[in-house]
């Protein structure tokens, strides 16, 4: 393996795994309080879960849910700007963005301490599956893949369904990202948990660990936790999503170095030595050998034989 | 999750995990015998390890090793054509290809039962690390990524170092491959095994399991086993490569459904239901949502900020 430089290049990341209540004001207060708590534990970059201001409204297609959206930057980023400046931390804030009438995105804002709001990433890959009706709500992102340079590190920002796409991880890492952050809202359909639950969670985790390996960088996934019933169903029927928590950090060798529990809120603060990337990327020089002359057909949907 | 069609679409794959002796004729005889053994156990597609005809000569840069190369198709593919026709099996045969004076490739030939030799894949990603001096020997492949259609299944063929590249897996899967085969020669430096061995093996396995998940297909990795000393070193010094065996099959959900031992030769025959791909790809429709409009920069080396 490659050699690690003698002086560590430390970054402390904070993962806020939250339960999200029906009350946005309460969720905002809680997110601000947990951000403060993570900073108190030494976190320098703090990531919140996907769309933490509300229950995961995409379980149904409901026009009323569009009222939850707000501009980005807007009132919520303003609240985090104040806090981030006070604490001198960077924060990744996942929001339901209203861009114009009838035009909405699933967006992550990046706030960098005293610099304030520095930009946003709009979720590029939008899922649409039973209880995850995101294509109804979110226009696919049009800002491309993005890494945000801060004084402490270069922060790659992606969102949830993006985590299944090696292309997204690669294009973000190629911009120099030290860490790929994935605010997430993923869980089990309770009726599938016994038959598929372990495999689904394992696939989710290993897909992201593989991004760390392929790109020689860190990966931070921040999920919500708790059970959220499907609106309009009999509460006793148990229909809904059991968010699986288990927010985690993977090192550039793919090892999981921290993992939150399934069913509890958690604020993890994890110490990273970014110089581990130097060691891994010289030991496993995958970036050196990419066949960029032979990748052009990745822009095709499928390579049909006829 | 998606529903699996009622009628299974079965494919039995055979993995021949071999120890490779200094005698190419002996290795050929043994590979033919183990191919026959795999077919006897029901295998329909059989994959041999990378460059199984000889010790892994890339441990040093030695001009004499070029004498091991042969044309593809050539004498070894001819021997496998005879056997494959007799047994009615497909075989993936990894060879050191001599294309012209001074022009050599790391090539996998595909032989399809009575159809005989149907084509070859030339390793696209060539490593070069201590004891894996492949850039000295092998010109990077110029045939692109390939899937080979047979009556039984579409066979994606890649080789070893390719397994670290999501681009390679994707471009092969997009051609309709049901299974990605990786003939491999990977092992530990004995002096690193205690400190890094578990993590290295785990990264290797999870990178390929992630290809299965991202592409909703099967992955078959076939490694060699045994310790091979570095030529020219004191045999008592223990310098060399401890090939880590552990050939495996991953299902489209990323689960490892078969794994060979570390230190022993093994002939695994594994029953796959290719319809599991239908189930997984409808349940996790990643191919549906790829942002092909935003992937063009994957053909760049790095996305420098300035």
Convert the pLDDT of each residue in B151-186 to its tens digit. Answer: 899 999 999 999 999 999 999 999 999 999 999 999
Mean of pLDDT values over B43-72: 98
Convert the pLDDT of each residue in A8-49 to its tens digit. Answer: 999 999 999 999 999 999 999 999 999 999 999 999 999 999
- Judge whether A207 and A73 are in contact, CB under 8 Å: no
Peptide bond into A73 cis (omega under 30): yes
Query: Confidence class of residue A1 from pLDDT cuts 50, 70 and 90?
Result: low
Asked if A290 and B175 come within 8 Å (Cβ–Cβ), the reply is no
Total Cβ atoms within 10 A of residue B198: 12
Q: Which domain holds residue B52?
A: 10-288
Total Cβ atoms within 10 A of residue B131: 15
The verdict on residue A102 lying in a domain is yes
Predicted pLDDT at B17: 98
Q: Is A290's pLDDT higher than 70? A: yes
Predicted pLDDT at B137: 98
Asked if A253 and B203 come within 8 Å (Cβ–Cβ), the reply is yes
**Rounded CA gap, A13 and A217, in Å?**
14
Residue-wise burial string across B36-54, b where 16 or more C-beta atoms lie within 10 A, e elsewhere: bebbeeebbbbbbbbbbbb
Q: Measured in whole angstroms, how far is the alpha carbon of residue B186 from the centre of its chain?
A: 11
Nearest to B91 by CA among B134, B53, B138, B36: B36
* B129 class by beta-carbon count within 10 Å (0-12 exposed, 13-18 middle, 19+ buried): middle
Q: Which residues of B touch A213 (CB under 8 A)?
A: 164, 203, 206-207
Query: Confidence class of residue B200 from pLDDT cuts 50, 70 and 90?
Result: very high
| Domain tally, chain A | 1
The verdict on residue A93 lying in a domain is yes
Convert the pLDDT of each residue in B70-120 to its tens digit. Answer: 999 999 999 999 999 999 999 999 999 999 999 999 999 999 999 999 999
**Rounded CA gap, B1 and B9, in Å?**
19
Nearest to A119 by CA among A139, A140, A90, A96: A90
Convert the pLDDT of each residue in A91-147 to its tens digit. Answer: 999 999 999 999 999 999 999 999 999 999 999 999 999 999 999 999 999 999 999
The verdict on residue A53 lying in a domain is yes
**Rounded CA gap, B165 and B179, in Å?**
16
Q: What is the CATH number of the domain that holds A197?
A: 3.60.110.10
| Alpha carbon separation from A111 to A34, A44, A96, A118, A294 (Å, rounded) | 16, 12, 16, 6, 38
* B142 class by beta-carbon count within 10 Å (0-12 exposed, 13-18 middle, 19+ buried): exposed
Mean pLDDT of chain B: 97
Q: Which residues of B touch A126 (CB under 8 A)?
A: 289
| Alpha carbon separation from A63 to A15, A67, A187 (Å, rounded) | 31, 8, 23
The verdict on residue B297 lying in a domain is no
Residue B241 structure tokens: 């490569």
Predicted pLDDT at A286: 98
- Judge whether B35 and B83 are in contact, CB under 8 Å: yes
The verdict on residue B2 lying in a domain is no
The verdict on residue B205 lying in a domain is yes
Helices in chain B by DSSP H: which ranges?
A: 24-40, 75-87, 134-137, 166-173, 190-215, 275-283
Predicted pLDDT at B5: 82
Residue B264 structure tokens: 């022993």
Asked if A291 and B129 come within 8 Å (Cβ–Cβ), the reply is no
Mean of pLDDT values over B228-232: 95
Q: Which residues of B touch A196 (CB under 8 A)?
A: 1
Mean pLDDT of chain A: 97
| Alpha carbon separation from B218 to A79, B77, B247 (Å, rounded) | 47, 25, 14
Q: Is B1's pLDDT higher than 90? A: no
Dihedral sign, CA of A112, A259, A204, B197?
A: positive
The three-state secondary structure class of B256 is strand
Could you tell me which residues come within 8 angstroms of residue A102 by beta carbon, excluding any fewer than 6 positions away? none
Task: Give the residue on B whose Cα is nearest the Cα of A197.
Answer: B1
- Judge whether B276 and B301 are in contact, CB under 8 Å: no
Convert the pLDDT of each residue in B9-51 to its tens digit. Answer: 999 999 999 999 999 999 999 999 999 999 999 999 999 999 9
The verdict on ipTM greater than 0.95 is yes
Give the residues across from A149 on adjacent strands: A154
- What are the strands of the beta sheet with A218-222, ordered from one edge? A146-149, A154-157, A179-183, A218-222, A248-250, A256-259
Q: What percent of chain A has pLDDT over 90?
A: 94
- Judge whether A71 and A103 are in contact, CB under 8 Å: no
Could you tell me which residues come within 8 angstroms of residue B56 by beta carbon, excluding any fewer than 6 positions away? B20, B185, B224, B228, B241, B243
Asked if A298 and B295 come within 8 Å (Cβ–Cβ), the reply is yes
Mean of pLDDT values over B230-243: 92
Nearest to B18 by CA among B52, B55, B54: B52
Predicted pLDDT at A175: 98
The verdict on residue A284 lying in a domain is yes
Asked if A305 and B214 come within 8 Å (Cβ–Cβ), the reply is no
Q: What percent of chain A has pLDDT over 70?
A: 99
Tell me the catalytic residues of B. Answer: 50, 123, 160
Convert the pLDDT of each residue in A208-218 to its tens digit. Answer: 999 999 999 99
Distance from the B141 Cα atom to the nearest Cα atom in chain A, whole angstroms: 10
Mean of pLDDT values over A239-249: 97
- Judge whether A123 and A162 are in contact, CB under 8 Å: yes
Distance from the A153 Cα atom to the nearest Cα atom in chain B, whole angstroms: 14
Could you tell me which residues come within 8 angstroms of residue B236 by beta carbon, excluding any fewer than 6 positions away? none
**Rounded CA gap, B198 and A201, in Å?**
22
The verdict on residue A301 lying in a domain is no
Q: Which residues of A touch B253 (CB under 8 A)?
A: 199-200, 203
């Amino acid at each position: 393996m490659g050699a690690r430089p003698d002086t560590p290049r430390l970054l402390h990341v904070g993962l806020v795994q939250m339960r999200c209540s029906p009350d946005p004001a309460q969720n905002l207060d809680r997110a601000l309080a947990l951000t403060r708590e993570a900073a108190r534990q030494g976190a320098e970059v703090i990531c919140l879960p996907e769309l933490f201001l509300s229950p995961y409204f995409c379980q149904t297609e409901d026009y009323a849910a569009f009222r939850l959206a707000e501009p980005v930057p807007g009132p919520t980023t303003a609240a985090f700007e104040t806090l981030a400046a006070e604490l001198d931390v960077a924060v990744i804030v996942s929001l339901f963005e209203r861009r114009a009438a009838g035009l909405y995105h699933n967006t992550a804002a990046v706030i960098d301490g005293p610099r304030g709001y520095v930009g946003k990433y709009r979720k590029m890959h939008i899922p649409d599956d039973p209880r995850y009706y995101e294509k109804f709500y979110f226009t696919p992102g049009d800002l491309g893949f993005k890494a945000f340079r801060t004084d402490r590190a270069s922060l790659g920002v992606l969102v949830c369904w993006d985590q299944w796409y090696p292309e997204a991880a690669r294009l973000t890492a190629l911009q120099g990202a030290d860490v790929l952050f994935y605010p997430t809202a993923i869980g089990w359909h309770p009726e599938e948990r016994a038959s598929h639950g372990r495999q689904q969670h394992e696939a989710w985790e290993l897909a992201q660990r593989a991004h760390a390996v392929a790109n020689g960088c860190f990966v931070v996934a921040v999920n919500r936790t708790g059970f959220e019933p499907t609106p309009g169903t009999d509460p006793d029927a148990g229909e809904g999503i059991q968010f699986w928590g288990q927010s985690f950090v993977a090192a550039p060798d793919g090892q999981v170095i921290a993992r939150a529990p399934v069913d509890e809120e958690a604020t993890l603060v994890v110490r990273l030595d970014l110089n581990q990337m130097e060691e891994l990327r010289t030991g496993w020089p995958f970036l050196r050998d990419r066949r960029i002359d032979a990748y052009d057909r990745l822009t095709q949907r499928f390579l049909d034989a006829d």
